[in-house]
Amino acid sequence: MDARNLTRNFAAPPELRGDLRLAAEMIEPGSRVLDIGCGDGELLSYLTRHKDVDGRGMELSQSGVNACVRHGLSVIQGDADNDLADYPTGAFDYVVLSQTLQATRNPRQVLLHLARIGKRAIVSIPNFGHWRIRASLLIQGRLPKTALLPFPWYETPNIHLCTIQDFATLCAEEGIRIERSISLDRWGRPYRLNPVGALANLLAEQGLFLLARR
Amino acid sequence: MNLSPPSSTRPGSAVQRPGLRLEVAEKLRLDSGVTLGPFTIAYSTYGNLNAERSNAILICHALTGDQYVAEPHPITGKPGWWDILVGPGKVLDTDRYFLICPNVLGGCMGSTGPGEIDPATGKPWGLTFPVYTIADMVRAQVKLIDHLGIEQLFCVTGGSMGGMQVLEWASAYPERVFAAVPIASAARHSAQNIAFHEVGRQAIMADPDWCGGNYQQQGRNPARGLAVARMAAHITYLSEQALHRKFGRNLQDRNALGFSFDADFQVENYLRHQGISFVERFDANSYLYMTRACDYFDLAAEHGGVLANAFKGTRTRFCVISFTSDWLYPTAENRQIVHALNAAAANVSFVEVETDKGHDAFLLDEPEFHATLRGFLDGCAQHRGLKAG
């Protein structure tokens, strides 16, 4: 199952989903981009059209890959856990992983690959520290279902959830520098908060990070 | 067994082979160290080469294919083997592209091969023909592309053994290949595939009519051996599901088991038909040589054991295509090519097409496959600046 496809419908932006739009803004024109979990190629085709990017994609779902290739995008069938090891270090200017890290088997390893393959990595995650999620557990005693995490516990593809602060801690431990971070609401609109502060960790539904190796 | 040879002479020897022929005067140095030449490449073309000579697509045929891609076969009269893909408005659009398909070196439809006359002796080559490799086939094709005045091919494509030639082209002549589409193929022949080929070769060589490879001079034809080789190979081109869907355990022209070794089952009858019709159009020695060329293919071994090195610095755009039910060249083998291309930071797309038709799916009506190929070619044509068809 591709987590990104499943969360995609909730944002419904005019052209690009909120976190993808912000990711696109971080990408310099004319650069080399690898979009992991590229779905039907929404971000890639936007970047190709508007930013003259040399874009590649990776996507788990067969229908997504075929749709991309049919539209002339360079996309392979594969997933972040199994198909990143072969890429050479620094092969891309940007590697994008949007709303997918929590669905990987080994997020730490994936994160290291992202930081290795890309000169920069752009990662967005759903924030498990959001107050609704905390409230669901605290008050109702139930695992939460939210717009970004809509599945019941027994069939969720999101097996490695973390909070914004958990993510920032992992980056620090692995020597990955957070160059920029933005906290977002569920529609991908940015909050004006310290993006890795305690308040953002409580109020933001997503975090978006621009990462680089130290 | 009930496999009577259709004729006692070599297949197709009396049939006029239409199409084009290039006589290459130079000698070709083969991987074995032997030189071969002058030699002939028989080929077909479809569509027209544009003024910039930038719209040529080279089609590499599979083991039992030939240059008759989109025209009736001169021996069987059947439509071309890729008729479904090649033609005006089709995926390989003859209004837009110039398509070239050579009969491989060592083939039996007009290119120099073991069935042709060795000018040195005036007799058929037979087993004195040098063993050649996939790379040798490609070297011979390069002469043809030079002759046609094409600096860079827009695309090289082919399935199965054709896919191996595609990979060899992209690896050995990266500047001459703008886009490469290896289909249902592998960067090396697996032990299982070598094993199947060996069964086929042994079947041919066990036929007394093979005469140690000299059947032409003896006026004989190892049709039974070749038919068995084809039957065994044909099973590997299908899938269990496809066989079951097509035939199940249905009986052939009878209501009950015959308690004999006639073709009781439809599947037996089908395979026998496949075997018999194959020998009408194919040469047994060619089959030996060509299967050997596949067996010897190991692109990584030619590059220090690292497949990625075969594609170092490539600017070719790749599209690797595999089929879910293909157990001869399974997705895993195709994925190895993709991983190597990733490691070489190449521009690659990879699609696994869902089908139950097995390896042969690349020859059949598979809309998803065709849509993928069309989309990829359109994208490449845009980058190459080719006008729409």
Residue B3, pLDDT > 90, answer no
With beta carbons less than 8 A apart as the criterion, state whether A81 and A107 touch.
Answer: no
Among B335, B338, B345, whose Cβ lies nearest the Cβ of A91?
B345
User: By the CB < 8 Å criterion, does A81 face chain B?
Assistant: no
| Integer Cα distance of B290 and B277 in angstroms | 19
pLDDT of B387 higher than 90: no
CB-based contact, A30 to chain B, within 8 Å:
no
d(CA B49, CA B88): 14
Q: How far is B353 from chain A (nearest CA, A)?
A: 8
Q: Which residue is associated with the tokens 């995008």?
A: A73
Q: Which of A62, A74, A83 sits opposite B354 (nearest CB)?
A: A62
Distance between alpha carbon B337 and the CA centroid of its chain, in Å?
19
pLDDT per residue over B300-342, tens digit each? 999 999 999 999 999 999 999 999 999 999 999 999 999 999 9
- Annotated catalytic residue, options B171, B197, B359, B360: B359
The pLDDT mean for chain B works out to 94
Query: Left if phi > 0, otherwise alpha if psi is -120 to 50, otherwise beta: which for B106?
Result: left
Question: Residue A72 and residue B375: Cβ atoms within 8 Å?
Answer: yes
Q: Is the pLDDT of residue A10 over 80?
A: no
Interface test with A, best of B322, B323, B351, B369 (most A CBs within 10 A): B351
**CA of A13: how far to CAs of A5, A18, A172, in Å?**
14, 6, 32
Q: Output the pLDDT for position B15.
A: 61
Question: Which pairing describes strands B98-102 and A206-213: parallel, antiparallel, or unpaired?
Answer: unpaired
Q: Closest Cα of chain A to B263: distance in Å?
A: 41
Does B244 participate in catalysis according to the annotation? no
Q: Is the dihedral of CA B92, B97, B98, B104 positive or negative?
A: negative
Q: Is the pLDDT of residue B389 over 70?
A: no
Q: What residue spans define the domains of chain A?
A: 3-213
Task: CATH number for A3-213: choose from 3.40.50.150, 3.40.50.2000, 3.20.20.70, 3.40.190.170.
Answer: 3.40.50.150
Mean pLDDT confidence for B220-246: 96
Is residue B11 very low, low, confident or very high in pLDDT (cuts 50, 70, 90)? Answer: low
Question: What is the pLDDT, as a whole number, of residue B18?
Answer: 77
| pLDDT tens per residue, range A137-172 | 999 999 999 988 999 999 999 999 999 999 999 999
pTM score, whole prediction: 0.91
- With contact defined as beta carbons under 8 Å apart, do B339 and B375 qualify? no
The pLDDT value recorded for residue B352 is 93
| Residue B185, SS3 per DSSP | coil
- Walk me through the domains of chain B, giving residue ranges and CATH numbers: 21-192+299-384 (3.40.50.1820), 195-293 (1.10.1740.110)
SS3 call for B348: strand
Please report the pLDDT score of residue A12 as a whole number: 32
pLDDT of residue A14: 53
CA distance B1 to B4: 8
Q: Which of A105, A207, A80, A114 is nearest to A159 (CA)?
A: A105
- Tell me whether A69 touches chain B (CB under 8 Å): yes
